[in-house]
Amino acid sequence: MALQLRPNCEYCDVDLPPDSDQARICTYECTFCSDCVETKLFNVCPNCGGGFAPRPIRPAQEWRNGLSLAKRPASTERVKASFTATEIADFSAKLRHIPPNKR
């Protein structure tokens, strides 16, 4: 099963196309831009409490049969955070001092 490659930051709603090197994901594929991860979330996913990693870029060209952006397109469904900015800030403040591998 391929990653969804969600099209936007769930916090600020900036576009994150499939080839963006600014997309960050948690283990549940929650997707945020690098700016929000660094300055608003402090590497704490507001949904699960985990950390973030750069989202892989799906190859545009089909190097292997059936495996490419054309064959497995990115999601077009925009996702918005389920929590308010205040709730997210409070949650992040509780966890950001704990390294992701210790949460």
What pLDDT score was predicted for residue 83? 97
- Please give the biggest Cα pair distance in the chain: 46
What pLDDT score was predicted for residue 24? 98
- Domain containing 35 equals 23-102
- Hey, what are 73's tokens? 């397109």
- 16-31 mean pLDDT: 98
Q: Per-residue confidence at 2, pLDDT binned at 50, 70, 90?
A: confident
| 16, part of any domain | no
| 4, part of any domain | no
| 83, part of any domain | yes
| 1, part of any domain | no
Q: Rounded CA gap, 60 and 76, in Å?
A: 16
What pLDDT score was predicted for residue 1? 76
Number of independent structural domains in the chain: 1
- Hey, what are 68's tokens? 């490419």
User: The pTM is what?
Assistant: 0.92
